[in-house]
Amino acid sequence: MLSLRAVNQYYGNQHTLWNVDLDLSPGVCTSVIGLPGMGKTTLVNCITGYLPIESGSMIWQEAGAPPRDLLSLQAEHRSAIGISYVPQDRRIFSQLTIEENLHVAMRAGSEPGSAVRRDIYDLFPELYELRQVRGAELSEDNQQQLAMARALVTHPRLLILDEPTRGLGQAFIHKLGNLIVRLNQEFGMTILLAEQHLSFIRRVADRFCLLHRGRNVAQGDVKLLDDPLLSKWMTPESGH
């Protein structure tokens, strides 16, 4: 579905991504992992088009369709071809109700019809009960649910989640894991998450890409995330 080759990115003079390769296959949940500041958010922002890259390629291809150069598309056009993004800060409209937030997303994604699809509320029953509540009045857990519902309302082919467990309680993290597994296994959705919560990654992901100082130092089946690998790259000492 999406293939990245030799992706390099700079913030000014700072080289942030170094020749990163990544393959996202249809129906697979992949996690980009690494300590804070190692390039996870930078990578997903490059994929979504919010950050430019210096060099490399990003090729998007769906079954039965010719490949497309993702780099030729602005962020809004990447969304239009089916890439939905839930950023760390969620970016919900705080003064709009849940229902109004979803309507904005539907219009942006050219979703037909004027009513929020019932299956969205089936996935997020709490949001249905709170649908007339403004975003600013929601708990962090419900804000995260709204951000995900807004991403899903446009029928994405690829769902990208940046640090989805950040700031959330354990009970909701468990619920979120159930939802991601359901989207992936029951609905066949392709998912990319940037995350450092290892037990969560092991539960929801099929594959991983481990970043260290902007380089992908390991990748493969999530079962390969063993103690020697994690001790080498996922401890505070490895960040120095």
pLDDT band at 8 (very low <50, low <70, confident <90, very high): very high
pLDDT band at 167 (very low <50, low <70, confident <90, very high): confident
- For residues 116 and 52, membership in a common domain is answered with no
Counted domains in the chain: 2
**Of 124, 155, 186, the domain-final residue:** 155
The two three-digit tokens of residue 64, written as one number: 């039965």
> Which residues in 148-230 belong to E strands, given as ranges?
158-162, 190-194, 207-212, 215-221
Model pLDDT, residue 114? 52
Note whether residue 67 is domain-resident: yes
- For residues 171 and 231, membership in a common domain is answered with yes
**Of 131, 155, 179, the domain-final residue:** 155
- Rounded distance between C-alpha atoms, residue 143 and residue 19, angstroms: 35
The mean of the pLDDT values for the chain is 91
pLDDT band at 180 (very low <50, low <70, confident <90, very high): very high
**pLDDT 10s digits, 203-214:** 999 999 999 999
One DSSP character per residue, 50-118 reads: SS--SEEEEEE--TTS--EEGGGS-HHHHHHTTEEEE-TT----TTSBHHHHHHHHHHHTT--SSS--H
**pLDDT 10s digits, 44-67:** 999 999 999 999 999 999 888 899
- For residues 60 and 178, membership in a common domain is answered with yes
- Rounded distance between C-alpha atoms, residue 7 and residue 231, angstroms: 26
Note whether residue 135 is domain-resident: yes
pLDDT band at 108 (very low <50, low <70, confident <90, very high): low
- For residues 15 and 56, membership in a common domain is answered with yes
Nearest Cα to Cα of residue 41 among 161, 205, 165: 161
In this prediction, residues 16-25 reach a mean pLDDT of: 97
- For residues 100 and 15, membership in a common domain is answered with no
Note whether residue 20 is domain-resident: yes
Q: Which residue has the tokens 């709490």?
A: 126
pLDDT band at 128 (very low <50, low <70, confident <90, very high): very high
Residue 240 pLDDT > 80: no
Residue 70 pLDDT > 60: yes
Model pLDDT, residue 183? 94
- For residues 7 and 68, membership in a common domain is answered with yes
Lowest mean pLDDT among 55-59, 160-164, 217-221, 233-237: 233-237
- For residues 164 and 72, membership in a common domain is answered with yes
Nearest Cα to Cα of residue 87 among 40, 124, 127: 40
Whole-structure pTM value: 0.91
Note whether residue 87 is domain-resident: no
- For residues 136 and 172, membership in a common domain is answered with no
- For residues 129 and 174, membership in a common domain is answered with no
Domain of 138 in residue numbering reads as: 94-155
Question: Residue 198, class by beta-carbon neighbours within 10 Å (0-12 exposed, 13-18 middle, 19+ buried)?
Answer: middle
**Of 155, 187, 207, the domain-final residue:** 155
Note whether residue 88 is domain-resident: no
- For residues 151 and 161, membership in a common domain is answered with no
DSSP state of 225: -
pLDDT band at 151 (very low <50, low <70, confident <90, very high): very high
Kind and range of the H or E element at 147?
helix 140-152
